[in-house]
Copies of this chain bind each other. A is one copy, B any other.
C-alpha cells in the first residue's frame, strides 16, 4: 500500500482519543491528519498530555467537524455521551465515521432513551450506523461507512456469550472494570484515596450498556441480569457470566462451539483460565469455559481502552479500508507484568 489513509480524531484529548493515538502511532497505513479538541485548541496535544512528547506533537484544532471530515478518509468520534449525536448527522457521507460514543449503537430508540435518561436528538441517523464487533459481523463492517463502536462492558459480555446466541434462557453477569473506563473527568468514583482499595457495584440492572448487549445477543431485558462493578485497578474488564441454557450443554461441546465460532478471530484466545494481567495494553479478548451444576460459566477479559474501545475501533477501521483486521494491532503485545 503506497498511500497513507488519513484519519482524524474529534475529541482527541479524552482517554479513548489518547488510546487511538497510541495505536495509530504503531500503525503502518493510517496517518493522523487532525486532532480536534474544543477546550484546548491551539496547543500541541503533547502540551496537554506530555506523555506524547516525541510521539505525537500535532496541534489541536477546533476546526469545523465538516471540514475535518472532508479532509480525512475516516473520522473517529471520541466524544462524551450525547456529544456525538450533535455532530454525527452533519458528517454522514463526508468521510467514513467510527463513533466511540453510545449514541448510535441501539436501534431501539425508546430503549436507548430509557437507559440514558435523555431524548435522542437525531434518532433518524441511528440506522446509518453499523454496530461494529468485528468478531460477530465482519462482513457488514467491511461494507459499512459509519460504525457505532461497542461499549466496553458490552463487548466483553457479547464476546463471552455470542457463540451461545439463541440458546440462552437466562444469564447473570458480573463485570468488574478498571478506573480508566470512567474517563479523564474527575468523579467521586475515581478519587484515589477510596478507589485504590475499593470494590463497588453500581447501576445494577440499569446500566446503559444493557440495551446494546441484548440487541446483539437477541435477548429480552428480563433474560439478562447485569451487575457492573468498579475495581481498584486502571485497565481491564473481567466478565463472569452464569448461563442457564434452554438446553444443557457440556463444557466440551461449548468449547467446540466457541472454537468454531471464533476460528477466524485473531484476537480471541480461548484459555483454561483468564486473567486481566494477560491482556492489558493489547486488543485480545481471552475467554474461558467452565460447566458447573448444569450451567455454563463463561469468563472474558479485555483491556477496556483497547478491545473495549480504541483497539476495536482501529480493527473496524482496518476492515472498512480493506486491510487485514490485525494491521497495527498485533504489534501491541500485552504489557506484562
Chain A positions 131-189 with a Cβ under 8 Å from a chain B Cβ? 170, 172, 174, 176, 178-180, 182, 184, 186-188
**A81 CB within 8 Å of chain B:** no
A-B contact pairs, 11 of them (CB 8 A): A25-B331, A26-B331, A50-B271, A50-B278, A172-B172, A191-B191, A193-B337, A196-B232, A200-B276, A205-B290, A232-B233
Say how far A302's CB is from chain B's closest CB, in angstroms: 12
A side interface size, CB within 8 A: 88
Which residue of the partner chain, among B238, B275, B293, B333, contacts A170 with CB atoms under 8 Å? Answer: B293
The number of times this chain is found in the oligomer is 4
Which segment, of A1-9, A51-59, A67-75, A312-320, faces chain B? A51-59
CA distance A266 to B53 in the complex (A): 10
Contacts A174-B174, A176-B176, A229-B238 aside, 12 further interface pairs with beta carbons under 8 A come to A26-B26, A26-B332, A50-B271, A50-B278, A55-B333, A170-B293, A180-B193, A186-B188, A190-B193, A191-B191, A199-B276, A224-B293
A337 engages B15 (CB within 8 Å):
yes
Which residue of the partner chain, among B53, B197, B236, contacts A199 with CB atoms under 8 Å? Answer: B236
Complex: chain B residue closest to A221, CB-CB: B293
**A202 CB within 8 Å of chain B:** yes
Say how far A24's CB is from chain B's closest CB, in angstroms: 9
Say how far A128's CB is from chain B's closest CB, in angstroms: 32
